[in-house]
Structure 1
Amino acid sequence: MTAGFEAIEYSSRDGIAVVRLNRPAQRNALDLTMRGEIGRAVEAIRDDASIRVLLLIGSGGSFCAGGDLKALTERERGALANRDRIRRLHLWFSELLNLEKPVVAAVDGPAFGAGLNLALAADFVLASPRARFCAVFARIGLVPDLGGFFLLPRIVGLQKARELIFTARVVGAEEAQRLGIVTEIHSEETLEPAAMAWCRRLLEAPTGTIGMAKNILNQSFNLDQRALAELEAYAQAVAMETADHRTRVGDFLAKKPLRYDWEALGRAEDGQ
Structure 2
Amino acid sequence: MDRLTLQRVEGVAVVTLNRPDKMNAVDFAMIDEMIALAGQLAAEPGLRAVVLRGEGRAFCAGLDVANFSALALGDPEALIAPRSHGDANRFQQFSLCWRALPVPVIAALHGVVFGAGLQLAAGADIRIAAPGTRLAVMEMKWGLIPDMGGMVTLPELLRADVLRRMTYTAEEVPGEEALRLGLVTELAEDPLMRALDLARAIAGRSPSAIRAAKRLVTAAYAAPAAEVLQLESREQIALIGKPDQMAVIAANMAGRAPKFG
Whichever residue aligns with residue 74 of structure 2, its letter is: R
Distance 1:179 1:238, change over 3 A: same
| Structure 2: gaps spanning 5 or more residues | 83-87
Give deviations 1:30-51, integer Å, cap 9, x for gaps: 1011111111221121111222
CA distance in 1, matches of 2:92, 2:191: 29
Report whether the alignment pairs 1:8 with 2:10.
no
User: Residues of 1 paired with 2:223 and 2:188: CA distance?
Assistant: 36
Segments of structure 1 that go 5 or more residues without pairing to the other structure are 261-272
Q: CA shift at 1:154, angstroms? A: 0.9
Aligned in 2, Cα 1:156/1:39: closer, same or farther, shift over 3 Å?
A: same
For 1:108, which of 89, 107, 110 is the aligned residue?
110
Kept after mapping to 2: 8 A contact 1:100/1:207: no
SS of 1:169 mapped into structure 2: coil
Deviations 1:6-49 (A, max 9, x none): 11111213211111001112110110111111112211211112
For the residue of structure 2 that corresponds to 1:65, the secondary structure is coil
Q: 1:32 to 1:177 in 2, by over 3 A?
A: same
Instruction: Determine the structure 2 residue equivalent to 1:151.
Output: 153
- Tell me which residue corresponds to 1:175: 177
Q: CA RMSD in A?
A: 2.1
Measured in 2, the distance between the counterparts of 1:240 and 1:14 equals 26
Specify the alignment match of 2:199 in structure 1: 199
Change (3 A) 1:138 1:91: closer
Matched, 1:54 2:56: no
Larger CA deviation: 70-79 vs 29-38: 70-79
Preserved CA contact (<8 Å) 2:250 2:258: no
Name the amino acid aligned to 2:244. D
Deviations 1:231-255 (A, max 9, x none): 1111111121431112223344x36
Distance 2:227 2:27 in 1: 39
Aligned partners of 2:15 and 2:228: how far apart in 1? Answer: 32
Identical aligned pairs, as a percentage? 28
For 1:259 and 1:134, locate their aligned partners in 2 and report how far apart those are by CA, in whole Å. 41
For each residue in 1:137-171, what CA deviation from the matched residue of structure 2 results, as whole angstroms up to 9, or x when unmatched?
11211111221111111111222211221222111
- Is the Cα–Cα contact under 8 Å of residues 42 and 92 in structure 1 kept in the other structure? no
Is the 2:109–2:128 Cα contact (8 Å) retained in structure 1?
A: yes
* Contact 2:93 2:148 (C-alpha < 8 Å) held by counterparts: no
Query: What SS does the corresponding residue of 2:157 show, helix, strand or coil?
Result: helix
Q: Which amino acid aligns with 1:110?
A: V
C-alpha separation in 2, matches of 1:233 and 1:196: 31
Q: Distance in 2 between matches of 1:229 and 1:191?
A: 35
The structural deviation recorded for 1:202 is 1.6
1:235 aligns with 235
Tell me the distance in 2 between the aligned counterparts of 1:222 and 1:55: 24
Distance 1:255 1:9, change over 3 A: closer
Q: Distance in 2 between matches of 1:193 and 1:36?
A: 28
Alpha-carbon distance in structure 1 between the residues aligned to 2:234 and 2:182: 30
Could you list the structure 1 runs, at least 4 aligned residues long, displaced by more than 4 angstroms after superposition.
Answer: 257-260
Question: Counterpart of 1:97?
Answer: 99
Matches within 5 A, 1:1-272: 5-74=1-70, 76-84=73-81, 87-187=89-189, 190-252=190-252, 254=253, 256=255
Q: Secondary structure in 1 aligned to 2:201?
A: helix
Residues 193-238 of structure 1, C-alpha deviation per residue, up to 9 Å, x if partnerless? 2222222222112232222222232232332211111111111111
CA distance in 2, matches of 1:115, 1:179: 18
Change (3 A) 1:140 1:92: closer
Q: 2:180 & 2:256 partners in 1: Cα distance?
A: 34
So what's the TM-score if we normalise by structure 2? 0.89
More deviation, 60-69/178-187: 178-187
* Aligned partners of 2:251 and 2:257 also within 8 Å: yes
2-structure distance, mates of 1:79, 1:186: 40
By how many angstroms is 1:126 displaced? 1.1
Q: 1:243 is matched by which residue type in structure 2?
A: P
1:90 shift after superposition: 3.3
